[in-house]
């Protein structure tokens, strides 16, 4: 079973648009991952969940949620599993381990977090290695003050876009027009519309607004699905 209702939104979006399904998708970063529903879906799509963790690895696996990810010397499940690729998940809150998922407990907006994430990706695909799919379901705590909520959504989107510029794979290097994907949550507002036209539309081959059925209709949240990073 999934840890969050959000998992069904991701399943629904991928069922329709197939951004996690292609075999060449090998590196996925999940920002704002706790409690772990999206990470579970990604782990399934990359074939990790078919291999249950061997008992002797339990202690090692538990150490994954250690605060400092650099202390994690060897994600043993990765060696024993038959999943493909690398999944790096990030959240302010603790997250229970998921086979195939390397977890960083950190504030994404803090200056050091980017290099922690990149360090884990680089261990798998090398220093120059890039990320196929960046997912962001991050949201600040809603304050009830619309102005504050929009500001916070915009700050997250801007920072994720900066991260994307530096770490996403280009469509050309994937060899598919829609390769190099960013899926990002935001709150519907003219400022976020501006973010879309200014930053997303010029840089991706295909950008669309999605409102999954699993997302409550009254909430203002929606997702921009951006495919095919022009590089």
Residues marked as catalytic: 185
**CB of 69 vs ligand SAM, minimal distance in Å:** 13
Interface region with ligand SAM, contact rule CB under 6 A, candidates 14-22, 65-73, 89-97, 117-125 = 89-97
Tokens describing residue 43: 């782990």
* Residue choice 108, 161, 187, 229 for contact with ligand SAM (CB under 6 A): 108
Residue 35 contacts ligand SAM per CB under 6 A? yes
Residue 212 contacts ligand SAM per CB under 6 A? no
What distance in Å separates the CA atoms of residue 3 and residue 25, rounded to the nearest whole number?
23
**CB of 17 vs ligand SAM, minimal distance in Å:** 17
What distance in Å separates the CA atoms of residue 130 and residue 110, rounded to the nearest whole number?
21
* Residue choice 13, 27, 90, 181 for contact with ligand SAM (CB under 6 A): 90
Orientation angle between helical segments 37-45 and 6-17, nearest 10 degrees: 40
Residue carrying structure tokens 């997702």: 223
Cβ distance to ligand SAM smaller for residue 117 or 171:
117
Q: Taking a C-beta distance cutoff of 8 angstroms, is the pair 76, 57 a contact? A: yes
Q: Is the peptide bond before 91 cis (omega within 30 degrees of 0)?
A: no
The Cα-based distances of 13 to 78, 173, 210, 225 in angstroms read 27, 24, 8, 9
Interface region with ligand SAM, contact rule CB under 6 A, candidates 58-66, 135-143, 166-174, 211-219 = 135-143
Q: Which residues pair with 229 in a beta bridge?
A: 204
Cβ distance to ligand SAM smaller for residue 19 or 76:
19
Interface contacts to ligand SAM, rule CB under 6 A: 3-4, 6-7, 32-38, 90-93, 107-109, 137-140
């Amino acid at each position: 079973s999934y840890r969050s209702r959000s998992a069904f939104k991701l399943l629904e979006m991928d069922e329709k648009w197939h951004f996690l399904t292609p075999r060449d998708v090998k590196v996925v970063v999940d920002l704002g991952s706790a409690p772990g529903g999206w990470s579970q879906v990604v782990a399934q799509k990359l074939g990790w969940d078919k291999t249950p963790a061997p008992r002797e690895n339990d202690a090692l696996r538990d150490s994954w949620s250690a605060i400092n990810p650099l202390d994690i010397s060897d994600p043993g499940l990765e060696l024993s599993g038959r999943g493909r690729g690398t999944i790096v998940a990030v959240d302010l809150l603790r997250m229970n381990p998921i086979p195939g998922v390397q977890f960083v407990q950190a504030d994404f907006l803090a200056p050091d977090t980017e290099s922690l994430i990149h360090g884990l990706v680089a261990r798998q695909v090398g220093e120059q290695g890039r990320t196929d799919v960046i997912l962001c379901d991050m949201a600040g705590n809603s304050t009830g003050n619309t102005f504050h909520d929009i500001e916070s959504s915009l700050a997250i989107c801007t920072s994720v876009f900066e991260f994307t510029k530096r770490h996403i794979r280009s469509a050309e290097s994937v060899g598919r027009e829609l390769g190099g994907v960013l899926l990002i949550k935001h709150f519907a507002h003219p400022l976020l519309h501006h973010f879309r036209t200014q930053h997303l539309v010029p840089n991706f081959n295909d950008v669309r607004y999605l409102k999954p059925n699993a997302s409550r209709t009254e909430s203002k949240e929606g997702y921009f699905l951006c495919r095919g990073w022009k590089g």
